[in-house]
Chain A
Amino acid sequence: MPDREDMPELVTMDSDGHPALLGMVCGTCGHVAFPEQSYGCEKCGETANTQPRNLPCRGILNSFATVNLHRSERIAAPFIIGEVKLEAGPTIRITMLESSEENLAIGKDTHGILLKVHEPAGREHTELRFTTGSDQ
């Protein structure tokens, strides 16, 4: 299990050893949101009655797209972005582990994994990716 310092921002580990997103739930309207913030519920405006909630990195692949071009030199294309409807409610967009669309399909189950990414300077960091693979 990665150290907390090695975790991507906004991610933690659930008790089952799988990554979870640091989300929130509004105690007034029940809206589940990601990421967690203290400014107020964006559905009803509640500020006091909100609670942090870990959102398991599991859901359904809503859509995906291969990005072939990116203006930033630090982001190497191509890569695949997925839209995931989490079991816990929110919809997120995230980089997929897959480098080809061959095994991707809308409606497939998908889950998050933590991936070590090697940087050109020799350092490495951990990123959250989603995949439709069966390596969970």
Chain B
Amino acid sequence: MSKTLAELRPVYVIGTGLHRYQRMSDTPYPVLGLTAVREALADAQIDWQSVESVYHGTALLGMAPTRVMLRHLGGSGVPMTQVENASASGSSAFRQAVIDVASGFMEVSMAIGVDKPSAVTLAASRTGIGGLDQGRIVPFTHFALLAEKYMNRFNATPEDFALVAVKNAANGASNPYAQRQKVRSLAEVLQGPPISGHLTRLQCCPIGEGGAAVIVASEGAIARLGVNRKRCIRVLASVLKTEVVYEEASNFDAELTRQTCHQALDEAVVKAKDLDIIELHDAFSVEEIFYLEALGIAGDGEAPAMLRDKAFHINGDVAVSASGGLLAMGHPIGPTGVGQIVEVTRQLRGEAGVRQHAKAKIGLAHMVGVGAVCAVHVLQHD
């Protein structure tokens, strides 16, 4: 019989590290990854030799990038596996690390995300099944179409979506790891170059490069390695699901999000209203509105009014994308899902600095990826 994470042995995040997300540069990818990994090892106060497995979320680097990067930590023979799941690659890598420890396979595992932009071909274009769009419909148009429908159904306005970008830009402006670190006004967001439908440039996430690393461990390893128990964050649930045929065919990401989040919350025995921190896949501003409603944080059509009331701001009802989210922190693909765990962990530890959401105890990280896939993790500070 299959088991949930709650039925296996407890898993804790014990270390986190980041390399700033940034525009594509000449920085070799090992620099991005090694910076994040060394920061995570220092954060956990353990050495590289204590790590027993590594999962590397990457979609853009090409074949076998991990060992040629991590060999510079010194050879340990540790098993390393690349995990590709589109935008959810990093989240999926984290899930594998969690499973390693929860199952008893390993005592200490590491999830990393490292990527640099490159031209890749989606496998869907090689299935032999044609399509009508002739390459004209890219993700921002998919979400522009959904935004138009939402506005029509709920009398929402372009300003409602733009306010997501305003909030997340403000969060990113005080995050030293964010790609976009500039406060933006509503007028700036709305007046930016129009991309598709009502989406302007600042309502579309930047695809850059970066690195993120998270170390997870068992209670036994925490005691053996002398890790500070007060800084360990429990992983309550890990759920990964894929799209099926839905009645409402076009907003499949939201329906997939609803199902995945509800399963994760059920497994964690947590209600949506109990969440203090949420890191969402806000690649486009409208997604934050869709997913908060799918998650049950807001009723259908109610998220814009709650956003205007600052319910989703840091120190509001629940801090949503306190890191700046994909819109401001950036979306380097492989690192993104791992970076969400970094932010949730730092918030739950009370170590998020000027972005700290007061009394944060429970957090959720959510990513969707082309395919479509959805990964959700729930974390708690004991």
Where the two chains meet, the residues of A that have a C-beta atom closer than 8 Å to any C-beta of B are 8-10, 21, 31, 35, 37, 39, 42-43, 62-72, 75, 79, 81, 83, 90-95, 106, 127-128
Contact = CB atoms under 8 A, between A and B. Distances in A.
B131 interface: yes
Contact of B129 (A35, A66, A95): A35
A10 B129 CA distance: 10
Contacts of B129: 35, 37, 39
Given A35-B129, A67-B196, A68-B196, A95 B134 contact: yes
Contacts of A75: 134-136
Interface in B112-149: 128-138, 141-142, 144-149
A63 B151 CA distance: 10
A35 B194 CA distance: 32
B193 interface: yes
A63 B147 CA distance: 9
A41 B212 CA distance: 39
B354 interface: no
A31 B130 contact: no
A35 B145 contact: no
A21 B132 CA distance: 10
Contacts of A79: 136
Contact of A67 (B130, B141, B148, B244): B141
A69 B136 contact: no
B249 interface: yes
Contact of A10 (B130, B135, B141, B152): B130
Nearest to A42: B245
A31 B245 contact: yes
Contacts of B148: 63-65, 106
Contact of B130 (A35, A63, A94): A35
B249 A65 contact: no
A66 B197 contact: yes
Given A83-B250, A106-B149, A93 B132 contact: yes
Contacts of A90: 249
B189 to A, nearest CB: 16
From B132, B147, B152, B249, residue with most partner A Cβ within 10 Å: B132
Contacts of B152: 63, 106
Contacts of B135: 72, 75
Contact of B132 (A31, A64, A71, A128): A128
